Amino acid sequence: MKVRTAVTALGCLTLAAGVLVSRADASTPPPPTSLVVRADARGDVQHFSLPTINGDFIQQAAPTRRNGDISSVRLTHTRTSVRVFLRFVELNPTGEQHAYEYTIRTPRFTRSVTFGAWPGQAPPIDRGSYWTGSPPMMFGAHGNRLACSGMARTIDYGANTVLLVVPRRCLGYPRWVAVGPRLTEVTGYLRGYFDDGYYSGTQLKNPPATGPRAYTPSALPN
């Protein structure tokens, strides 16, 4: 699939950025919470290119690139859903396509959710069109597609935001979740830009690294 191929070819980056939680002692872990808000460093977009299908992955920093630069990640774990709200420095419908990928970790397993947006009519399997975005798809650890009705995404180019909503039942009603988002803008054949929500380094990893855990309200201390 077009979006899945673009996402898989990229790999991922290391976890970083500071937790927006006040702590009196840095050695003391933050208390469990159902809402996690983290800032991502600005100016950390990376340019990538692959000279050949079997060639080396070439990555270079693109500090002046504003489009697709994630500035914050807001993860909310409610009784019924997991909501991931991304804010960007700028989010404009440019390039050949945008590929969104999310790693979702739970106590039992890891899932991947992807969707894309591009100009013109999307393939029938996705049924998205004209930069509005294709419906989200969920995959297992071995790349097998999993059924999950009720997933939704909202791309707001005017507000520079993207919202992904995943029903908790598709994740086995987990006690906690941790999420790692990535946006890739494909600008040509095997080249483009990407940014992870928790990135401040140059080491590639796959899938996207995840941030802090967000607990379901019933798992929080009274």
Kind and range of the H or E run holding 111 = strand 110-117
The type of residue at 63 is: P
Q: What is the pLDDT along the chain (222 residues), one digit of tens a residue?
A: 454 544 444 443 332 333 333 333 445 666 788 999 989 989 999 998 876 566 677 888 999 999 999 999 999 999 999 999 999 999 999 999 999 999 999 999 999 999 999 886 544 444 444 687 789 999 998 999 999 999 999 999 999 999 999 999 999 999 999 999 999 999 988 889 999 998 666 555 678 889 999 999 888 876
CB atoms within 10 A of CB 19: 14
Residue 216: alpha-carbon gap to chain centroid: 20
- Residue 161 near residue 86, CB atoms below 8 Å: yes
DSSP letter assigned to residue 68? T
Rounded to whole angstroms, the Cα distance separating 7 from 30 reads 32
Which backbone phi and psi does 51 adopt, to 5 degrees?
-55, -40
pLDDT tens by residue, 148-168? 999 999 999 999 999 999 999
pLDDT at 148: 97
Instruction: Report the predicted TM-score, pTM, of the whole model to 2 decimal places.
Output: 0.81
Burial of 80-104, coded b for 16+ CB within 10 Å and e otherwise, reads ebbbbbbbbbebebebebbbbbbbb
pLDDT at 104: 97
- Residue 104 near residue 177, CB atoms below 8 Å: yes
Rounded to whole angstroms, the Cα distance separating 69 from 89 reads 6
pLDDT tens by residue, 44-83? 999 988 765 666 778 889 999 999 999 999 999 999 999 9
Alpha-helix residue ranges (DSSP H) falling in the chain: 2-8
CB-side neighbour CA atoms (13 Å) of 165: 12
